[in-house]
Amino acid sequence: MLGDVLTSTIIADQLKITYPNSHIDYLVVKHAVALVKEHPSIDGIVAVNQSDFNTLDGIISLSRKLKNSSYDLLIDVYGKNNSALLSYLTKIPKRIGYKKWFSSVAYTIALKNSPDRSIYKQGISLGSRLLLTQPMVDNVQWKLLPKIYLTTAEKDQGKKWLEKSNLDLDRKITMIAVLGSSMEKTLPFEKMAQLLDYHVEQSGSQILFNYIPSQTGEAYQIFSLCKTKTQKSIFIEAFAPSIREFLSVLSNCDAMVGNEGGAINMAKALAIPTYTIFSPWITKEVWNAGEDGKKHISVHLKDFNPELYRKGSNQDRKKIAVSLYEQFKVDDFKKSLNTFISENLK
């Protein structure tokens, strides 16, 4: 997932702080390379296909490539069966990962994934990453945040793209994470449309939709549910075809609003203000890094209906996420959204 790839870059940042002369490579799936391009703490990228992890032959082939590169250290952030097998097969002298049933075989050092809650009252996912550097670092910089690096030319390219798409750069622009990666992570369409109506009414902002090509139909469904006045502020046909182009456009926006996911994490990494709607089955404290009640604000069903969370697990709630979303009322959002608009879009 893109959010995981981006969050894990802070491991490279921490290692570069401690070992400035080290060479650090990052192994990621090819479609995520755009997130780490130009990153000053990453010296090389090992780009792989997802299929390389799906077969034993693929894992063996990749392990030989890593073994031949003579690495001294491997850190397995993914922590699944296939990455653990890859870690083991590389025979890299020092291999660090989380404690799991396979860790005694896969890694030379295994750590319990339990960040200090006195440090991480929010953004626990960041603490989980930095824990993996502790065996190599005496003074962990626990406040590190992920960053995306764009060139000046790329930022200018994004500005030109907005102008070509007929947006007015003298007016505020909000990028909307209109759809999540699945329906279990997507605010129901009618509620998203109502949220957009209210956002445009209060902010007067121009609106861009962020979605992937396979979600075009759903994006247009949400557009059709908005009021006519709101539709006039939505540039529905303005679509950045690649992640890097999307980032160049997003860097010129004033805010991002919508479903929690990779795009929200990208906005934070570009220092763009975010208003995030969490899925009812996701633990907000894991992914709400940087939340300050002003530049970054998030809402969760638990904030308004805590009684729904007294029993059951997140996996139970995932199964009924669509029905839980119906418990959200747009009025629940208005107070915090008004605060966000006042702080960032006025």
Q: What residues contact residue 99 under an 8 Å CB cut-off, 6+ apart? A: 110, 111, 112, 113
User: How much is the average pLDDT of 100-113?
Assistant: 94
> Mind listing the pLDDT tens digit for each residue in 111-144?
999 988 888 878 899 999 999 999 999 999 999 9
C-beta separation of 171 from 251 below 8 A: no
> Mind listing the pLDDT tens digit for each residue in 35-71?
999 999 999 999 998 888 888 999 999 999 999 999 9
Q: Mean pLDDT in the chain?
A: 94
> Mind listing the pLDDT tens digit for each residue in 153-203?
999 999 999 999 999 999 999 999 999 988 999 999 999 999 999 999 999
Read off the pLDDT band of 276 (50, 70, 90): very high
CA gyration radius, the chain:
21
pTM for the model: 0.92
Given phi > 0 = left and psi -120 to 50 = alpha, else beta, which region is 279? beta
Q: Helix 81-90 and helix 56-68: axis angle, to 10°? A: 40
User: How much is the average pLDDT of 304-317?
Assistant: 92
For residue 247, give Cα distances in angstroms to 149, 156, 162, 216, 260: 9, 12, 12, 19, 17
> Mind listing the pLDDT tens digit for each residue in 63-87?
999 999 999 999 999 999 999 999 9
> Mind listing the pLDDT tens digit for each residue in 198-219?
999 999 999 999 988 889 999 9
Q: Is the pLDDT of residue 1 over 80?
A: no
DSSP state for residue 106 in the 8-state scheme? H
Domains of the chain from N-terminus onward: 2-136 (3.40.50.2000), 156-344 (3.40.50.2000)
**What is the SS3 assignment for 93?**
coil
